[in-house]
């Protein structure tokens, strides 16, 4: 069954994919460590602690210390995964990640739950809307967000195998399962979900299922859609973006500030190529509120209805 044919009724949070995969990887490779900051239950690393206690360190509520410790472990050949909330793993740890991880190009993975608006009722203080943008500006950093449970597991596995700093972003809320468990992914290569000739939609993370639903409806109305899951926004799949530019119109969809995230990365390619029009759908350069996740998406126009309306407007 193709992705376009799935009913998307099964839902799982991508943080669960990380929690399940990191146990598997830790059992296979004793050099893999998890560094927690007292929120193992929320970040889904509790099972790792139970099964692999000798490969786990809890530093308490001290994210900056966790980054420094991870850097130290990496110099000894270990592969540390720092597990925390996205808003802390990107902003509170930013200086340490820049100076102690990216600058010496160490093999540290920053694995963060509660990305984007998914913390929802916790409010704007816990909603990381700028994290991927901040960290993609650091040299040597790879930035990834899987679109569902299974893609997250595969991308975490790939991140563990590659050398260098990686930022992995997960959702708190459950989102539809899009892929089968045997689907393969390559860091830096977009997943092509549908070929089309009228307009391109490039989505990332927890918005991919929304783009998928919109593409289905547009196809039913006779509008042919090229659809990409751009799970890696750094390094972005430039070749895939250039293919989309050949259609003339691109819509980007992300659960992130429209500044410096997926939309900006695509716009950079379009500007350098000197062609195509890009419309960005995402968080409208505003902090979130304490509200249900779906309501926050709606307030920012991150909806199936808005994707469809935007596509029709661009084509008209």
For the beta carbon of residue 285, count every other beta carbon within 10 angstroms.
11
Question: Is residue 200 within 8 Å of 173, Cβ to Cβ?
Answer: no
* Beta-sheet pairing, 11-12 with 175-176: antiparallel
Structure tokens at 128: 């990381």
Specify burial of residue 83 (Cβ count, 10 A radius: 0-12, 13-18, 19+).
Answer: buried
Contact indicator for 66, 92 with CB cutoff of 8 Å: no
C-alpha dihedral sign at 87, 92, 94, 97? negative
In DSSP terms, which residues pair with 201 in a beta bridge? 227, 251
Whether 177 contacts 8, CB under 8 Å: yes
Identified catalytic residue from 5, 21, 63, 243: 63
Our answer to whether residue 63 is catalytic in this structure is yes
* DSSP secondary structure of 99-130: IIIITTT---EEEEESBTTTTGGG-TTT-BSS
Coil/strand/helix, residue 246: coil
What is the Rg, in whole angstroms, of the alpha carbon atoms belonging to the chain? 19
> Which of the residues are catalytic?
63
């Amino acid at each position: 069954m193709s992705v376009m044919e799935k009913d998307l009724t099964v839902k799982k949070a991508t943080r669960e994919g990380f929690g399940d995969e990191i146990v598997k990887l830790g059992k296979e490779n004793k050099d893999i460590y998890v560094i927690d900051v007292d929120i193992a239950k929320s970040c889904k690393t509790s099972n790792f602690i139970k099964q692999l206690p000798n490969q786990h360190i809890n530093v308490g509520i001290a994210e900056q210390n966790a980054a420094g410790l991870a850097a130290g472990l990496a110099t000894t050949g270990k592969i540390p995964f720092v597990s925390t909330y996205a808003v802390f793993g990107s902003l509170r740890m930013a200086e340490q990640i820049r100076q102690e991880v990216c600058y010496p190009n160490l093999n540290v993975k920053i694995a963060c739950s509660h990305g984007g608006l998914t913390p929802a009722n916790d409010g704007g203080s816990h909603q990381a809307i700028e994290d991927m943008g901040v960290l993609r500006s650091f040299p040597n950093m790879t930035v990834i967000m899987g679109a569902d449970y299974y893609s997250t597991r595969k991308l975490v596995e790939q991140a563990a195998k590659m050398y260098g700093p990686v930022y992995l972003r997960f959702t708190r809320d459950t989102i539809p399962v899009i892929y089968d468990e045997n689907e393969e992914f390559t860091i830096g290569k977009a997943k092509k979900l549908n070929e089309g000739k009228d307009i391109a939609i490039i989505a990332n993370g927890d918005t991919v299922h929304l783009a998928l639903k919109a593409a289905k409806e547009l196809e039913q109305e006779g509008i042919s859609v090229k659809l990409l899951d751009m799970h890696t926004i750094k390094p972005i799949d430039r070749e895939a973006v250039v293919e989309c530019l050949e259609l003339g119109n691109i819509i980007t969809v992300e659960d992130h500030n429209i500044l410096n995230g997926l939309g900006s990365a695509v716009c950079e390619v379009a500007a350098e190529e000197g062609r195509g029009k890009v419309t960005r759908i995402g968080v409208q350069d505003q902090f979130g509120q304490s509200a249900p996740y779906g309501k926050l998406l709606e307030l920012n126009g991150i909806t199936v209805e808005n994707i469809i309306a935007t596509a029709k407007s661009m084509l008209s």
